[in-house]
Structure 1
Amino acid sequence: MPYRHNEDLPDSVRAHLPAHAQDIYREAFNHAYEEHAQDPRQEEASHRIAWAAVKHSYEKRGDRWVPIG
């Protein structure tokens, strides 16, 4: 299901990502969810795509996600 607000994201996302990375995750997830409407693994694919989108702008250092660059 698409997420309207960052507060609606799974706990595993909200607990680890800074607010801007959560925005990226939410927007990428929602877009992928629409694009994969006919895919039986729609939600799984959307989560993978959302994490990939976050990794374009953020990297994990230790236990924190920080902006790249």
Structure 2
Amino acid sequence: MTFRRNTELPDSVKRCLPLPAQDIYRSAFNHTWQGCRSPEARHAMQRELLAHKVAWAAVRRRYEPDGSGWRPKH
């Protein structure tokens, strides 16, 4: 399960993140999903959860919440 386009991202991601942050999220999610080989994360549900956590962490490195959405960090 990977996302080819930002339009395929979950609504919760599309609703609150600006497009550049969606790109970061999608890239981090896909990278984690494709590279996840650990035995404990092979189950699809665990693999997906891990990929979403990594994706949000990637967004938080470059963006911060501003009350109504997310803005780039300075």
TM-score (norm 1): 0.95
- Residues in 1 aligned to 2:15 and 2:54: alpha-carbon distance in whole angstroms: 19
Match of 1:61 in 2: 66
Name stretches of at least 5 consecutive residues in structure 1 with no aligned partner: none
Aligned length: 69
Q: Which has the higher helix share?
A: 2
- Residues in 1 aligned to 2:7 and 2:68: alpha-carbon distance in whole angstroms: 21
Cα deviation digits, residues 24-61 of structure 1 (max 9, x gap):
00000000001114512100000000000000000001
Match of 1:48 in 2: 53
Computing the radius of gyration from Cα coordinates, the structure with the larger value is 2
Q: What is the one-letter code of the residue matched to 2:55?
A: A
In the TM superposition, structure 1's runs of 4+ consecutive aligned residues that sit over 6 Å from their partners are none
Name stretches of at least 5 consecutive residues in structure 2 with no aligned partner: none
TM-score (norm 2): 0.88
What is the root-mean-square deviation of aligned Cα atoms in Å?
A: 0.9
**Percentage identity across aligned positions?**
46
- Residues in 2 aligned to 1:47 and 1:26: alpha-carbon distance in whole angstroms: 9
